[in-house]
């Protein structure tokens, strides 16, 4: 970090985002920064799937994007070291996993200790893993939702920052429930970033 940098709180928080797919949560974060809801700036996106929706959105929004295709790394740890290097080069202070579909290692968690946030489409600790919405429908729950949390090593665990609940309707399909949950994810993710920054005294 440059020595002449203004103190935290006097400048926008520098956010890094990790995404694998559509990138609607990434865009929601950028929008929250642009409308001043979040005193932050998304200064680096990393994606693991070349040409994914998130990368296209970054191009449109003018956010620097680096592709780290997981297929070209020998291990999860090697991929995470490359992510860390990209974030450090961009002076990123807090990282958001916004639809990152890879398991992360202790290296990334340590590099961004208490500063690594994940968004998950269920009310954790229920329905961890990649098929959370399918699991919720199969279980017949009447309420589901989303959780933004700090990242611990075990997948979809760690201190909860913000949750939002949505009803599960009888006629719901994976798509209809996912759309309802997504709308809430876009709302709570900026709140979670703010809460994490407050915990760290970064705001």
Distant-in-sequence, close-in-space partners of 197: CB < 8 Å, separation ≥ 6:
13, 40, 94, 203
Smallest separation (angstroms) from ligand GRF to the CB of 80: 17
Q: Is 119 in the site for ligand GRF (CB under 6 A)?
A: yes
First to last CA, the chain: 17
Q: Which one among 13, 17, 19, 58 touches ligand GRF, defined by CB under 6 A?
A: 19
Smallest separation (angstroms) from ligand GRF to the CB of 88: 24
Q: Is 158 in the site for ligand GRF (CB under 6 A)?
A: no
Q: Which one among 14, 16, 18, 23 touches ligand GRF, defined by CB under 6 A?
A: 23
* Cβ count within 10 A of residue 8: 13
CB closer to ligand GRF out of 26 and 87: 26
Please calculate the CA angle 25-17-177 and round it to the nearest 5 degrees. Answer: 25
The pair of structure tokens assigned to 55 is 């990368």
CB closer to ligand GRF out of 121 and 158: 121
Q: Which one among 14, 16, 18, 25 touches ligand GRF, defined by CB under 6 A?
A: 25
Q: Is 121 in the site for ligand GRF (CB under 6 A)?
A: yes
Contact 64, 44 (CB under 8 A): yes
**Whether 182 is catalytic:** no
Q: Which one among 30, 48, 84, 99 touches ligand GRF, defined by CB under 6 A?
A: 99
User: What is the distance, to the nearest Å, from the Cα of residue 21 to the centroid of all Cα atoms in its chain?
Assistant: 12
Q: Is 185 in the site for ligand GRF (CB under 6 A)?
A: yes
As a whole number of angstroms, the distance between CA 124 and CA 132 comes to 10
In 25-37, which positions are buried (b, 16+ CB within 10 angstroms) versus exposed (e)?
A: bbbbbbebbeeee
Out of 68, 120, 149, 186, pick the active-site residue: 120
User: Which residues of this protein are in contact with ligand GRF, per CB under 6 A?
Assistant: 19, 21-25, 98-99, 119-121, 182, 185
Among all residues, which ones are annotated catalytic? Answer: 120
């Amino acid at each position: 970090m440059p020595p002449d940098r203004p103190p935290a709180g006097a400048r926008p928080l520098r956010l890094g985002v990790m995404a694998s797919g559509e990138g609607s949560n990434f865009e929601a974060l950028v929008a929250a920064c642009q409308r001043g809801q979040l005193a932050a700036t998304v200064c680096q996106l990393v994606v693991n799937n070349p040409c994914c929706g998130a990368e296209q959105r970054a191009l449109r929004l003018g956010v620097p994007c680096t592709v780290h295709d997981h297929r070209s790394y020998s291990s999860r740890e090697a991929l995470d070291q490359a992510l860390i290097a990209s974030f450090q080069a961009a002076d990123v202070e807090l990282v958001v996993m916004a639809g990152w579909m890879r398991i992360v290692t202790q290296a990334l968690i340590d590099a961004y200790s208490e500063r690594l946030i994940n968004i998950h489409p269920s009310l954790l600790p229920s329905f961890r893993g990649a098929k959370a919405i399918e699991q919720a429908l199969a279980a017949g729950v009447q309420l589901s939702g989303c959780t933004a949390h700090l990242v611990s090593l075990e997948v979809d665990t760690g201190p909860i920052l913000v949750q939002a609940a949505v009803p599960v309707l009888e006629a719901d399909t994976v798509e209809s429930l996912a759309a309802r949950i997504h709308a809430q994810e876009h709302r709570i993710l900026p709140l979670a970033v703010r809460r994490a920054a407050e915990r760290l005294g970064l705001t």
